[in-house]
Structure 1
Amino acid sequence: MADVLAAPVAGGATGGTNDGTAAVGVLLGVDVGTTGVKVAAFGLDGHTRHVEVREYPLLEPEPGHQVQDPAVLVAAVVEAVARCVAAVGPEGVVGLSLSAAMHGLVGTDAHGTPTTPLLTWADGRAADLVRELRSEGVAAPLHRVTGTPVHPMSPLVKLAWFRRHEPLAAASVARWLDLKALVVMALTGTAVTDLSSASGSGLLDMATGDWSPLALGVAGVGADRLPFVLPPTHVLPLGAAAAAATGLPAGTPVVLGAADGPLGNVGTGAVTPGSLALSLGTSGAVRMVVPAPPRSLDPALFCYALTPGAWVVGGAVSNGGIVARWLARTLLEERPADDTTGDAAVLALAAQAPPGSDGLVMLPYLLPERSPLWDADLTGAYLGLRRRHTRAHLARAALEGVAMQVGLIASRVDAVHPVRDVTATGGTLRSPLWQQLVAAALGRPMTVAGAAEGTARGAAVLGLVGLGIAPDLPAALGLLRDPLATAEPVQPVPELVVAAARARSRAAELLASLDGVRALLAAP
């Protein structure tokens, strides 16, 4: 199992060497995220040469709609690449490799011009259709076939929403693209996506690698209105227009790359079964690479492709560090000057309460939640609230609740393949308290990596294989391994491990104790 990724990845292009030796040059890892793009220039000696970041707004034109202007996003990508190229010099750039956020959807006309906003993963407009698909018994078969839970984030249900609620707009769309295809089209003029990004659409059959007839029927689109799917290591030439805008020569190799979640594993080196990658920022995710989709996929988990021979199983939480931001607005006596100040104040407040928060438990579903239940209708709640509880208890219970959700997902992944080690990233985990709470919920040591350019690094690592500079991902990781990983793992504190286990069992008991209240309120 340890050599899952030791074979060359299919779909690469000629260029460079194929013996694992590094040519002189710089590879650009382009990470197109939900609120910004990061372009990192990696020298083939492993050092990061330069990083450019450009942000763009996440818009909410109506409640529950979370969209972006495709033109603004593409312009930011091009500008970030151009500034990075200007900083390192175009003559040394051997290519670009791409990462993009999952679950995006945008409609385009016959000329490739967007006709709809870009609906992001956070867009919740299709919640009504998710309820229908679940009640009709269609959700479970779709998950088994595609590996994507039926949830408002999924492009499949977004397409079904357009068909029902905006049929004229849907009929005018010549082709539906994901975020990766939108960026690839802007850079190369070709409307294609990669296997990894396509596998998060809810439309791809994991077994065949083709668009699923079942999913297409539910979505109400034909395969001819979706982008072609190519291997993540496939290479396309940079188009003339993008070349002029970025300062790179036309024809510069562009490696399609993969989706941001799977590439997060690559960026931290968690690319073999047993190595768990955990990220916790505003939201969070827990993922492990396995050689093939599980024969029976746990309903709590997703399964997305990294490459044809490597798949990522795991779960994502919408409510990560953003819970601390809510606590800052709600509990602090003085409004913080900024988010960083607010986070620090919340952590200091939470540290005043004992482990386990004196029996107070929070279900932190402030935003529509994803794994492990994939139920966007669930709402947050404090359980076990008593007069003795203070603002400090409320703060700590919320942080412990987030850690509990992460631990629940990790236990489900452990059932797919036993966890051997954990590598964690994310701005939230700069806090020692967050580190201790998550390690306790996992019940095992956790190595915190710097990974400031983790996903962009993952894209660059995959790009080395696509360009033939490295023969496989392990060799490519050897060239671009993150130098910021901490040597000493965070050890779980026994007292906190016990408190985390008690909180989990207490939450179940408290929920059961409310059955009588529910029955009373439901009575005529």
Structure 2
Amino acid sequence: MKRVYTIGVDFGTESGRALLVDITNGQEVATHVTPYPHGVMDEVLIHSGSKLEQDWALQHPGDYLEVIRQSIPSVLAEANVSPDQVIGIGIDFTACTMMPLDAGGTPLCMLDEWRDHPHSWVKLWKHHAAQDEASLINETAKRRGETFLARYGGKLSSEWMLAKSLQILNEAPELYEQAVLFMEAADWVVMQLTGQLARSSCTAGYKANWHKREGYPSRQFLQSLDPRFGDLVEKKLRGPVKPLGSKAGGLTESMAALTGLLPGTAVAVANIDAHAMVPAVSVVTPGKLVLAMGTSTCHLILSDKEVTGEGICGVVEDGIIPGYYGYEAGQSAVGDIFAWYVDEAVPEYVRHKAAEERLGIHEWLEKEAAQYAPGQTGLLAIDWWNGSRSVLMDADLSGVILGLTLQTKPAEIYRTLLEATAFGTRAIIDAFTESGMDVQELYACGGLPQRNRLLMQIYADVTGKEIKVADTVQTAAFGAAMFGAVAAGKEQGGFGSIVEAAEAMARVREETFKPIEANVRIYDRLYKEYKGLHDYLGRGENGVLKRLKALKSGGRQ
């Protein structure tokens, strides 16, 4: 019997990777990672070298095509799989990662006349420079009583499509007029693969405020933000919105030649990276909260009912698994916080000790941090190094560490940062619960749960819940491959639904992380301190963090 495969391509913050999966048993056959040649532009613009303003984060769309060019042929070659054995491709992407296009679908940054203009480039998910626009959107929507606002916790993020589009209009109206389409990078890559314009219901729902029955926010609302913004949907967000699991199209002749696959190979409608992870860890029913943990963390849960509440970044019908409402919340920095500490603040002697013990710096810090009991460091941190996505949805907030002394050691700070992100997750669980969601189980996936055992034990202790961990490192790519199998359909050897695909392919590890009762009691006390500080600094009683950021911004001008 001929073995049948699909390929999942996961586009992350720093790199993209392809994963070849045997869909009969979920075996990961081959994987290949392509680092983005241009990385993340958050200080200067390539080519011109001009300095970017605070909170910008841009990318080069050519890097995404480089992933397709390098990684797909590489997994085929590594596994010695013939093109006729691959029945489908699925992709997932960070979101909202958006770009302006010309009439031919070419990103404006790839045209000579616009390449030196920062607004012509891809705005990465963590581009937070549209906070003023997000604030205007939120204030106006609240004043007008717009019903869509409640589905997003009462606030739209500066990371999302409306705020980023409005920033382009405000700061570069000539480029806004030139742009024929604004697209999620996820949908743009699918368009490159198939030659077909197909917007994902997932990206449109969570990041562009599209609703299955109501559509996008109304022309009247958009016009109230700026008269020039009224036709955003009709002109720049046009195109069919297709459900997850459906086929966006077949691989074009040129893309078949580039990848080594057959023309016409099924390409699934794009997915958001975290959302693709949910079925990949076997979660296809309500009550199970999935922590998609990486540079940031997304918290995802299914329900058979639609509720609203603070901290819910989005609720979208069929947004994750068809037949359910998919809920999203998140922390805009988790792994990025740990990386910041190692890259920018760890003293040199730590690097020497790690090298002597032949350990990575993160490994050494984890080992040393595990020697401390909860509360023993005397430290407490707030996890806002990249703002607060949930529950406060405020990109202008920043990180805090309390309790530092002349005796504080690097491993104590490292442990405290781990704990801070766990407290942030508990705050999100509390917000879900207060909104009427039943959070029964926790599932963790992504790179962090695979690498840092101390982190997962802290999360179990802080939340008081057992945590199950995905049995794959490339969980997003694995989920994307599952959707590729669904797009191919049963007639090609795939599946009729993502639920069927999950039953056949998904798996979690046998080992779980269980809360330790003594630790739970101490973390309950620390969490009360965290929550008090969280509300004091984050809800306006003391605006020192925003005043500091304003001074910093003024100092750069």
Please say whether Structure 1 and Structure 2 have the same fold, judged by a TM-score greater than 0.5.
Answer: yes
**Distance of 2:541 and 2:252 partners within structure 1:** 66
Q: Structure 2: how far apart are the matches of 1:35 and 1:448?
A: 23
- Among 444, 447, 472, the residue aligned to 1:424: 444
67-76 vs 80-89, greater mean Cα deviation = 80-89
> Deviations 1:127-185 (Å, cap 9, x if unpaired)?
22223334445498453256794122111100000110000011000111111221011
The 1:105–1:91 alpha-carbon spacing in structure 2 relative to 1, beyond 3 Å, is same
- Give the equivalent residue in structure 2 for 1:369: 388
Aligned to 2:505: 480
User: How many angstroms does 1:384 deviate by?
Assistant: 4.5
Helix, strand or coil at the partner of 1:200: helix
In structure 2, the CA distance between the partners of 1:454 and 1:175, relative to structure 1 (3 Å rule), is same
Aligned with residue 301 of structure 2, among 288, 303, 320: 288
1:334 aligns with 2:349: yes
Aligned to 1:437, the other structure's residue is in SS state: helix
Say if 1:394 and 1:253 are closer, same or farther in 2 by CA, change over 3 A.
Answer: closer
Contact 2:153/2:310 (<8 A) preserved: no
Provide closer, same or farther for how the CA distance between residues 206 and 53 of structure 1 changes in structure 2, counting only shifts above 3 A.
Answer: same
Task: Work out whether residues 272 and 290 of structure 1, in 8 Å CA contact, stay in contact via their aligned partners in 2.
Answer: yes
Counterpart amino acid of residue 438 in structure 1: Y
Tell me if 1:465 matches 2:486.
Answer: yes
1:59 aligns with 2:41: yes
Do the aligned residues in 2 keep the contact of 1:205 with 1:212 (CA within 8 Å)? no
Alpha carbons 2:17, 2:67 under 8 Å: kept: no
Q: For 1:424, what is the secondary structure of its paired residue?
A: strand
Q: Separation in 2 of the partners of 1:375 and 1:512?
A: 13
CA gap 1:103/1:113 in 2 versus in 1, 3 angstroms: same
Partner of 1:75, secondary structure, is helix
Note if contact 2:422-2:462 (Cα within 8 Å) is conserved in structure 1.
Answer: yes
100, 111, 122: which one pairs with 1:107? 100
**Aligned with 2:250 (options 222, 237, 253):** 237
In 1, distance between residues paired with 2:217 and 2:472? 34
Equivalent residues of 1:359, 1:503 under 8 A apart: no
How much does 1:504 deviate?
Answer: 1.5
Where 1:487 maps in the other structure, the secondary structure is strand
What one-letter code is carried by the residue in structure 1 that aligns with 2:452?
A: S
The residue aligned with 1:68 is: 59
Aligned residues of 2:375 and 2:522 also touching (Cα < 8 A)? yes
When residues 184 and 359 of structure 1 are mapped into structure 2, their CA distance, relative to the original with a 3 A threshold, is same
Alignment-derived partner of residue 192 in structure 2: 186
Q: Distance in 1 between matches of 2:182 and 2:123?
A: 11
The whole-number CA distance in structure 1 between the counterparts of 2:123 and 2:466 is 38
Checking the alignment, whether the CA contact within 8 Å between 1:349 and 1:395 is kept in structure 2 is no
Q: Secondary structure at 1:190's aligned position in 2?
A: coil
Counterpart of 1:150 in structure 2 is 156
What's the counterpart of residue 70 of structure 2?
79
Alpha-carbon distance in structure 2 between the residues aligned to 1:202 and 1:382: 34
- AA aligned to 1:164 is N
CA contact (8 A) 1:363 1:401 kept: yes
Q: Deviations over 1:446-495 (max 9, x none)?
A: 1122322211221222233332222332321122123xx32132110112
> 1:422 & 1:513 partners in 2: Cα distance?
29
Higher RCO (C-alpha 8 Å, min separation 6): 1
The answer for the alignment partner of 1:163 in structure 2 is 169
CA gap of 1:234–1:473, structure 2 versus 1, over 3 A, is: closer
In the alignment, what sits opposite 1:8? none
Structure 2 vs 1, CA of residues 348 and 111 (structure 1 numbering), >3 Å: closer, same or farther?
same
Most deviating of 325-334 and 236-245: 325-334
**2:30 corresponding residue in structure 1:** 50
Per the alignment, residue 17 of structure 1 pairs with none
1:321 equivalent in structure 2: 335
Name 1:378's counterpart in structure 2: 397
Match among 106, 118, 135 for residue 131 of structure 1: 135
C-alpha displacement of 1:414? 3.6
User: d(CA) in 1 for partners of 2:531 and 2:202?
Assistant: 36
Task: Report the 3-state secondary structure (helix = DSSP H, G, I; strand = E; otherwise coil) of the residue aligned with 1:378.
Answer: coil
- Say if 1:109 and 1:517 are closer, same or farther in 2 by CA, change over 3 A: closer
CA distance in 1 between partners of 2:425 and 2:365 (Å): 20
Is contact 2:100-2:180 (8 Å) kept? yes
Please give the alpha-carbon distance, in whole angstroms, between the structure 2 residues aligned to 1:301 and 1:31.
22
Q: Which runs of 5+ in 2 are unaligned?
A: 45-51, 109-119, 548-557
Distance 1:243 1:268 in 2: 30
Partner Cα distance (2:310, 2:525) in 1: 25
Residue type at the aligned position of 2:233: G
Measure the CA separation in 1 of the matches of 2:409 and 2:14: 35
Query: Aligned partners of 1:511 and 1:104: how far apart in 2?
Result: 28
Q: Secondary structure at the match of 2:134?
A: helix
Alpha-carbon distance in structure 2 between the residues aligned to 1:214 and 1:357? 56
TM-score relative to the length of structure 1:
0.86
RMSD: 3.0
Alpha-carbon spacing, 1:428–1:310, altered in 2? closer, same or farther (3 Å): same
Distance 2:3 2:274 in 1: 29
Q: Is the 1:146–1:205 Cα contact (8 Å) retained in structure 2? A: no
Aligned residues of 2:201 and 2:243 also touching (Cα < 8 A): yes
- Note the C-alpha offset of 1:405: 0.4
Aligned residues: 496
Query: How far has the Cα of 1:257 moved from its partner?
Result: 4.0
Whole-angstrom distance in 1 between the partners of 2:273 and 2:221: 23
Contact 1:356-1:502 within 8 A present in 2 as well: no
SS state at 1:306 partner: coil
Partners of 2:92 and 2:477 within 8 A in 1: yes
Structure 1 residue ranges without an equivalent (≥5): 1-21
TM-score by length of 2: 0.81
SS in structure 2 of the partner of residue 54 of structure 1: strand
Residue 82 of structure 1 and its aligned partner are, at CA, apart by 2.7
Tell me the distance in 2 between the aligned counterparts of 1:387 and 1:247.
59
Aligned to 2:467: 446
**Matching residue within 429, 451, 456 for 1:435:** 456
In the TM superposition, 1:406-421 aligns within 5 A as 406-415=425-434, 416-421=436-441
In structure 1, C-alpha distance between the alignment counterparts of 2:281 and 2:341, rounded to whole Å: 30
User: Quick one: distance in 2 between partners of 1:311 and 1:501?
Assistant: 31
Note if contact 1:278-1:287 (Cα within 8 Å) is conserved in structure 2: yes
Identity %: 23
Structure 1 residue 33 corresponds to structure 2 residue 19: no
Report deviation, 1:425. Answer: 1.7
1:9 paired residue number: none
Task: Give, as a single letter, the amino acid of the residue that structure 2 aligns with 1:58.
Answer: V
Q: Is the 8 A contact 1:257 1:463 kept in 2?
A: no
The answer to whether the 8 A contact 2:379-2:416 is kept is yes
SS at match of 2:454: helix
1:23 shift after superposition: 7.8
Report the counterpart of residue 124 of structure 2 in structure 1: 120
CA distance in 2, matches of 1:44, 1:202: 32
1:372 partner SS: coil
Please identify, of 246-255 and 435-444, the stretch whose mean Cα deviation from structure 2 is larger: 246-255
How far is the alpha carbon of 1:498 from its aligned partner? Answer: 1.2
State the partner residue of 1:223: 234
Query: Does residue 506 in structure 1 map to residue 532 in structure 2?
Result: no
| 8 Å CA contact 2:152, 2:313 repeated in 1 | no
